[in-house]
Amino acid sequence: MRAPFGARVTTAVSLRGPLCVGVDPHPSLLEAWGLPVNAQGLERFAATCVEAFAGEIAVLKPQSAFFELHGSAGTAVLERLITDTRRAGALVLLDVKRGDIGSTMAAYAAAYLAEGAPLAADAMTLSPFLGFGSLDPALSLAAETGRGGFVLALTSNEEGASVQRATGPDGRSVAQEIVDEAAARNAGASPLGPVGLVIGATVGATELDLSNLNGTILAPGFGAQGGTLADLRTVFGASLRHVLPSSSREILRHGPDVTALRDAALRVRDSLAVAHPL
Give the integer Cα–Cα distance in Å for 249 and 61: 12
d(CA 105, CA 111): 10
Residue 254 CA to residue 199 CA, distance in Å, equals 26
97 given a catalytic annotation: yes
Angle (CA) 214-133-125 rounded to 5° is 60
Active-site residue among 97, 172, 253, 254?
97
Q: How many CB atoms lie within 10 A of CB 27?
A: 15
CB 241: neighbour CB atoms within 10 A? 12
Beta bridge partners of 94: 124
- Residue 21 host element (H or E): strand 20-23
Angle (nearest 5°) at CA 190 between 187 and 191: 120
Residue type, 260: A
Instruction: Give the single-character DSSP code of 274.
Output: H
> Cβ contacts of residue 200 below 8 Å, gap of 6+?
154, 155, 156, 157, 219, 220, 221, 227, 235
15 in Cβ contact with 58 (< 8 Å) = yes
Residues that are catalytic: 97
